[in-house]
Amino acid sequence: MFIKQAFKVEHDFWRYLIGSVVVLIAALIGQMPLLVAIIWKGIQDGGQGLESITEESMYTMLDSNLFLFLMLISFLAAFVGLYFVVKYIHKQTMTSIATARPKLDWRRIWFAFIFWGILSSGLVLLDYFYLAPENYEFNFEWQRFAILAVIAIALIPFQTSLEEYLFRGYLMQGFGTATKDKYFPFAFIYSMLFIPLFVVANILTDINLLTNLALGSGAIIFGIIVFQALKKFDFFTSKTNESLRNVCKRNWTPILITSIIFGGLHMANPEVGKLGYTIMIYYIGTGLFWGIMTIMDDGLELALGFHAANNLFTALLVTTDWTVFQTHSILKDTSEPELAMIDMIVPVFIIYPILLFIFSKVYKWTNWKDKIFGRIDEPPKDDYKIIV
């Protein structure tokens, strides 16, 4: 029901493409104060502007509270952009991209927030007091922490909510409705082949922006050539294509696509450079976790609460010198950054399934197979209701 309700509004896929661009532009506009502050600081420190600023130095040029505040402003701007996209391009409401219920269920949001906030903080404190106290420093300065708390509580929910509304809501519904198109299997398979190759190329070689643009353009041109060849041979009206549509026209497809995009956008985070690209298993796995949670519960509420708790409690409780959130938190992790495969296996393949099981018992989820692998069929026109 959650994905299918997007059929009730303006859901042409080009609208989702334009909408995504609008949200990106809004985010870039929101980044301008941070960019100006960094350039101004670089000039004050004797640099010549952007050319003297490296990606690593960017995170330490400003006070961490100021940097966090300016960074989070871009998410607030993007959230405003998404609101206008949903309202004016899709003639839809923010509630309808968030839940299949008449309105947001705040009890679900608060349950997930408190549950994961207590559990995740407990694991950090267990590590600090008993398992590896040598890896931490007490970092508490009450004045800076108080400012951090105000900034984090006010703005981090906008960051996490934007990501959930955008990926598990807006784009999941968009890709879900796109599965009805006869060309969708080609676009899906081609993207799933190209994206890993593109990532591997970036890992194995030091590819710059121009080379990335050239590779992307080449992939698009090659895709158009293959598409035209398949069209000429009537592949898209064949039984083979219809079979592929039957496989792709299911809930698992938008869950997978949005999880890969969600994980891929975290490649710019500094921790990827420190820990390596295997951390993408964690990011994509987390996207899958929240996506399954959303589909099973028919709404974003649990993912909204969980994601907010994950980022907010982390920002307030523990920081490091090499993550995207460097804050005046209570504790500082001073251990050398390293990532063992067990660090990927435990959260993605053990903790997340256990959490899904717990939520399933609390909210009485049933019919897992149909919810995750069920068909996405456009409802009859008579079933449509205008969403205003």
pLDDT in tens, 289-301: 999 999 999 999 9
**Confidence grade of residue 219 (pLDDT, cut at 50, 70, 90):** confident
Q: Is the pLDDT of residue 47 over 90?
A: no
The DSSP call for residue 298 is T
| pTM score, whole prediction | 0.92
- pLDDT, mean of residues 158-166: 97
Domain regions of the chain by residue span: 101-180+249-383
Query: In this predicted structure, which of 18-32, 164-178, 275-289 has the lowest mean pLDDT?
Result: 275-289
Angle subtended by helix axes 252-264 and 184-204, to nearest 10? 30
Q: Is the pLDDT of residue 386 over 50?
A: no
Which residues are CB-contacts of 364 (< 8 A; sequence separation ≥ 6)? none
Query: In this predicted structure, which of 247-256, 285-294, 333-342 has the lowest mean pLDDT?
Result: 333-342
Cα 246 to the center of its chain, rounded Å: 27
Rounded CA-CA distance 39/28 in Å is 16
Helix (H) or strand (E) holding 319: strand 318-319
